[in-house]
Amino acid sequence: PRSLRAHAAAAGLLVGCAVNPRGLDGEPAYSQTVADQMNLLVAENAMKWGPLRPTIDTFDFRPADDIMDFAARHNQQVRGHNLCWHEELPTWFASEVNKGNAKEILIQHIQTVAGRYAGRIQSWDVVNEAILPKDGRPDGLRKSPWLELLGPDYIDIAFHTARMADPHAMLTYNDYGIEKDTPEDTIKRGDVLMLIRRMKARGVPLDAVGIQSHLTAGDPMPGAGLRAFVRECGRLGLQVFVTEMDVNDKKLPAAVEERDQAVAKVYQDYLTMMLAEPNVTAVLTWGVTDKYTWLDGPKFGRADGRPERPLPFDSDYQPTPAFFAERAAL
């Protein structure tokens, strides 16, 4: 078996990537690579609040529907991302949503979106990135618009509503910055664990934890702390998904070969560690080709302005060392 999906299937795993409907519909090399290599897709943006809801009472489901159709045609499962997040909210959100209507709007949104795709979603990221220790709260919760509007209850509301809207989807809590053994990641990981333990104790329907895994070559590698966290998730009955892996090469010198080797080593070491845990059942990269990565640009990209090479295929859709490392780890 040569493809990622063939390797994954043989190991009983899901392997996938974030996709954009424009690539799937309009660029043959893109759609071919996604079809050949992946058995699990997630919309990079199309299922987020902003893109889905141009106005408070209209939904634009076309791009998300396109992804669902593509996946069905190619025998692929789909993750939903996401139902509740502090970012990529629609422009009308700040002016139209208030303490009086926020609960109703959140519930109605989840019923509408999760309901539309019910029975066809492998897992939903119900709440994304709710923890931010540096906001200073004892419970570690981020001071997001949802927290300001509804208090900490918004998380339970979102999960209960999602379960009712789609009883077949695994319900996931997804977050970043919990991978490494650094003090910052260790504190955040502890707060995430506290959150999910309390959710389980309250009977909130939570089935899985998503570890985004946006890693940077040259940073300390994830290790014992994350392994212990994954095992603790297992004891709580939770699966763990690597949901958004990519490896930023901005700390590496310009030479492409050197960058590719270092990036591949991170894929190899990280995925080997994670997939040794039986409750880690899915791996997704945040994109498929270096041609389209959210890391390019001033915010996360390289100081020398060169394009990043964080993904398993290069910008000509040729497999990179990261591809072979990922495949070997599956």
Q: How far is the CB of 176 from ligand XIL (least distance, A)?
A: 6
Q: Based on CB atoms, which residue is closest to ligand XIL, 159 or 173?
A: 173
Q: Based on CB atoms, which residue is closest to ligand XIL, 3 or 122?
A: 122
Q: Which of residues 277-296 bind ligand XIL (CB under 6 A)?
A: 294
Q: Based on CB atoms, which residue is closest to ligand XIL, 40 or 327?
A: 40
Q: Which of residues 146-185 bind ligand XIL (CB under 6 A)?
A: 176
Q: How far is the CB of 300 from ligand XIL (least distance, A)?
A: 9
Beta-carbon count within 10 A of 24 CB: 20
Q: Based on CB atoms, which residue is closest to ligand XIL, 3 or 266?
A: 266
Q: Based on CB atoms, which residue is closest to ligand XIL, 44 or 290?
A: 44
- b/e burial code for range 187-225 (CB count within 10 A of at least 16 → b): bbbbbbbebbeebeeeebbbbbbbbbbbbbbeeeebeeb
d(CA 14, CA 8): 6
Q: Which of residues 113-132 bind ligand XIL (CB under 6 A)?
A: 128
Q: Based on CB atoms, which residue is closest to ligand XIL, 3 or 124?
A: 124
Q: Is 129 a catalytic residue?
A: yes
- Tell me, by CB under 6 A, how many residues bind ligand XIL: 7
d(CA 304, CA 123): 38
- CA-closest candidate to residue 176, choices 246, 98, 281: 246
Q: How far is the CB of 45 from ligand XIL (least distance, A)?
A: 5
**DSSP string over 215-273:** EETTSPPP-HHHHHHHHHHHHTT-EEEEEEEEEE-TTS-S-HHHHHHHHHHHHHHHHHH
Q: How far is the CB of 278 from ligand XIL (least distance, A)?
A: 25
Q: Based on CB atoms, which residue is closest to ligand XIL, 196 or 327?
A: 196
Beta-carbon count within 10 A of 91 CB: 11
Choosing from 44, 179, 244, 308, which is the catalytic residue?
A: 244
With tokens 């915010």, the residue in question is 299
Alpha helices in 74-223 (DSSP H): 93-96, 102-116, 145-150, 154-165, 183-201
Q: How far is the CB of 308 from ligand XIL (least distance, A)?
A: 12
Q: Is 244 a catalytic residue?
A: yes
Q: How far is the CB of 329 from ligand XIL (least distance, A)?
A: 22
Q: How far is the CB of 245 from ligand XIL (least distance, A)?
A: 11
Q: Which of residues 233-272 bind ligand XIL (CB under 6 A)?
A: 244
229 burial (CB, 10 Å; 0-12 / 13-18 / 19+) is buried
Choosing from 129, 179, 308, 326, which is the catalytic residue?
A: 129
Element containing residue 282 per DSSP (H, E): strand 280-285
The two three-digit tokens of residue 184, written as one number:
């910052």
Beta-carbon count within 10 A of 27 CB: 17
Q: Can the peptide bond before residue 20 be classed as cis, meaning omega within 30 degrees of 0? A: no
45 is a contact residue toward ligand XIL (CB under 6 A) = yes
Q: Identity (one letter) of the amino acid at 71?
A: A
Residues forming contacts to ligand XIL in the complex (CB under 6 A) are 44-45, 128, 176, 212, 244, 294
Q: Active-site residues: which are they? A: 129, 244
